[in-house]
Amino acid sequence: MNLGPHADFIVAAYAVTVFVVAALIAWVVLDYSAQRRILGDFEERGVTRRSRRSSQ
Amino acid sequence: MAIIDLANPSRFLTFVNRVLPWLAAATLLLFVLGLYRAMGAPDDYQQGATVKIMFLHVPAAWLGMMGWGLMSVAALGTLVWRHPLADVAGKAAAPIGAAFTFICLVTGSLWGRPTWGTYWVWDARLTSMLVLLLLYLGVMALYWTAEDPGRGSRAAAVLSLVGAVNLPIIKFSVDWWNTLHQPASIFRMGGSAIAPSILWPLLIMAGAFTLLFFTLHLAAMRNEILRRRVRSMRMMQAQELAEAAE
């Protein structure tokens, strides 16, 4: 595939997009595991939400 | 599960956990197809291969605007019905919409240099798009820096509604003012001005980016619901400790 005389601009545009999308995916995945870990710690210590307590 | 059931955060989490893997797989498949078609698309007779930047720039612009539209609808849910999921949806959409607006501005700038001879010009389309990015940053600041989350959410919802005025300005800026940015060439009276060999890869890429947006949005909403549970459990624990100390 020949990207012509402006190949640098095309490659830079795709690189920036890949970087930003990868950062978004990493943010969502890492945030999810962080929240799950904190909630797991609470449950291990026996701290539960009021709504769950009332249903038990 | 009826749609109304999804208004319950716990049921919404069950729904997200079930749907997310399928949505992610569909996004990946559509990106593979879209990139394959985009890389095989012919060069433009005037712009040459730089037209390939359009396959990123145009979907990013649409989604930057769609993200704000979604936040405006969520703002109505927050202010009128005070529904917690509406607030969650608005807060989760802000960084994703900001990221797509940023991609739109950067790829547009990289497309502008070889096409127009400049990275940036203060014309109405570019400036209104930059204003959209600044509005996104403002909403994110309100959500994440307010000491009282409820007040922060209401302020962010008001800004989301006020900022929606910018959406028609972005859309019609190329018609209302004399801009360096080209006028609409896809959705316009008389049909698209783009050849099908370039239009189809563009539409597939737009579909892939849209699926990516909703995949990320659902995942970010799930994170936000969990974050609120963590916050309420922390507050509950602090209250119990205070009562035990008395």
- Closest by CA position to A24, among listed B183, B194, B60: B60
CB B129 within 8 A of CB B104: yes
- Closest by CA position to B64, among listed B112, B118, B108: B108
**Dist CA B164 CA B168 (whole Å):** 8
SS3 A56: coil
Q: What is the pLDDT of residue A5?
A: 86
Sort out which chain B residues have CB atoms less than 8 A from A6's CB and list them: 48-50, 114
Interface probe, candidates B229, B232, B239, B240, chain A, greatest A C-beta count within 10 A: B229
CB contact under 8 A, B107 and A2: no
Q: What is the mean pLDDT of residues B207-234?
A: 95
**Dist CA A27 CA B174 (whole Å):** 35
Q: Nearest residue on chain A to B51, judged by CA atoms?
A: A10
pLDDT, tens digit, 9 for 90 and up, residues B5-62: 667 888 899 999 999 999 999 999 999 999 999 999 998 888 889 999 999 999 999 9
How many other CB atoms are there within 10 angstroms of residue B72's CB atom?
Answer: 19
Q: What is the pLDDT of residue B3?
A: 61
Task: Find all residues with CB under 8 Å of B50, minimum gap 6, and list them.
Answer: A4, A6, A9, A10, B44, B111, B114, B115
**Dist CA B103 CA A13 (whole Å):** 8
CB-based contact, B125 to chain A, within 8 Å: no
ipTM: 0.91
At residue B190, what are phi and psi to the nearest 5 degrees?
Answer: 90, 0
Please state whether B184 falls in left (phi above 0), alpha (psi between -120 and 50) or beta. beta
DSSP B159-226: HHHHHTTHHHHHHHHHHHS--SS----SSSTTS--S-HHHHHHHHHHHHHHHHHHHHHHHHHHHHHHH
pLDDT band at A1 (very low <50, low <70, confident <90, very high): confident
Q: What is the pLDDT of residue B10?
A: 85
pLDDT, tens digit, 9 for 90 and up, residues A29-52: 999 999 999 999 988 887 776 666
For chain B positions 217-246, those within 8 Å of chain A (CB to CB) are 219-220, 222-223, 226-227, 229-230, 232-233, 236-237
Cα B77 to chain centroid, rounded: 18
Q: What is the mean pLDDT of residues B144-150?
A: 83
Domain coverage including residue A20: 4-55
- Which among A4, A10, A28 has the least Cβ separation from residue B220? A28
Q: Which of A29-38, B98-107, B168-177 has the lowest mean pLDDT?
A: B168-177
Q: How many domains does chain A have?
A: 1
Count H helices and E strands in chain B, helices first. Answer: 7, 0
Average pLDDT, chain B: 92
CB contact under 8 A, A13 and B233: no
CA distance B210 to chain A (A): 13
Q: What is the pLDDT of residue B182?
A: 81
CB-based contact, B113 to chain A, within 8 Å: yes
pLDDT band at B145 (very low <50, low <70, confident <90, very high): confident
**Dist CA B197 CA A18 (whole Å):** 24
The ranges assigned to domains in chain B are 18-176+193-245
- Closest by CA position to A25, among listed B59, B203, B108, B28: B28
Q: What is the pLDDT of residue B7?
A: 74
